[in-house]
Structure 1
Amino acid sequence: MLFIDLILQGLIQGGVYALIAIGLTMVYGLLRILHIAHAGLYALGGYCALLITEASGSFSLGIVGSMIIVGIVGMAVYRLFYQPILDKPPVVALIVSIGLFIGMEELYRIFFGANGLSYTVAPLQGTIEFYGIFIRQSEIISLILALVLISSLSLFTKYTRIGIAWRATVTDPIMAESFGVDVLKVRYLNFFIGSMMAAAAGSMVGLTNNLVEPTMGSIPSYKALAIIVLGGLGNVRGTLIAALAIGLAESFGTIYLGDFFDRDSIAFAFLIIVLMIKPKGLFTKE
């Protein structure tokens, strides 16, 4: 039963990492920008979900509202901060993104306090028994939500016109534009979807931990970067597999290596070992 429990915990954690990292790799794949501020949107998702839930009494409304609001904010981030500097060297966008992330953390600290916010009555805090394994309801919902969103994204990019246009733009933006693809619209959509997924992850982590704090995006930002490098920069499928691999490595590592390393150290140790074997990542797009 311990093995099954570790698998489930790894998949749950990996699902959260995937929601964060897929949005990050979508931006890199389209614009070649390391969107560090993505982690700030993840934290914003947690705050929005909590505030809407507290006001309405419905966590379902909280998470949907959070995804929509953060998706719109993500588009605004692109328009205000990235679009004006697309012709600049990539390091300029990286510096802007880091500065934006730091600024977002400070704004959260000013408006919501340094200690963060908690749910007055947190929903989905019960447990469910599964063949002798007790799993929190919030973790089950988190895994289901990750599966639904990632599956929906896959279907969207394969079978819808705008999704196919997105894939074409990632492959060759100049050629896509010559065939009539509205590249600007694709970029806005890219930030909207990626930010929505980050908001969903932030909402579920905030609920599971019953805490949303200004710096909650810091560690996930490092792990998301590690995941997209491991999966191959710009490769969505590789990012998903890498996220699940990191989640499982953490889950098993905390049991068998917990006396020597903490959870975060295990994740980065796993990354280093894999990159020593595959320096360009597991699924690098040549």
Structure 2
Amino acid sequence: MTASRRIEALLQDRFGEPFTVDPGWPGLERIESLIKHRVIRRYSPQPVDAALIRLICACALSAPSKSDLQLRDVVVVENQATRQEIAGLIPDMPWIGQAPVFLVFLGNGRRIMEIARLRTKPFPNNHFDLVFNAATDAAIALATAVAAAEAMGLGACPISVIRDHAARVGALLDLPERVIPFAGLCIGWPADEGRMSPRLPLAMTVHRDRFDEENAPDAIDAYDRRREQMAPYRTQRDTQMWGETARYGWSEDKARQYAQPQRGDFGAYVRSRGFSMD
């Protein structure tokens, strides 16, 4: 099968709608590697060479950065005691402690302020945009690291839940003011094929000229049914509160997940680290 046909089949599985890919388009091998993305949570014991991790970090930090400010950093967590303490904070994700490599991506608003001080310039921009730019830079670097790891045959799993424990993770990593943990990333050689997550249809998430969600309820129902056929949930969330339902799809799971407060103290933590949220 040609690369274009493989991409068409992958996109059909991912989005549940037909795609046409011209075999003459350039870069299809790279496109295929992006479309094939799967989260990997089980890893072989084979170690990952430190030089390979350095290369992945270099790829991540080669990614676009807002105004070339470079408001992101990466911590390679090599100390096993530190790693296991982070893993212990999140016991329902054992792969944090088991993966051969664990990185933490940081949003760094400190460096540009230090540069202003070094060059004796004012810095009137410690407001919410600094936080937003640092988080965006970290997110772009994280996504690029995933793509780089997968291009090498490695598997990866982002860990955003470290922000549930931002203060403790920040202390463990000795983060200074205006540097905050954005997400972790497990990396290793895959022990299985992982799982492909079906996505919402492009008709719902790609807009032309103006935002339009007129048909969102029907599209979400259809997506729930398709996802249930492809990757049904093994368990239902918070049954002690919501009970069990015959039809348990993506929308029900996410509604239940966010029916509980999530990281209500994160804004206070960010402020405590010297960022302004105004």
TM-score using structure 1 length: 0.25
Higher relative contact order (CA 8 A, sep 6+): 1
Q: Which has the higher strand share?
A: 2
TM-score using structure 2 length: 0.26
Q: Which has the higher helix share?
A: 1
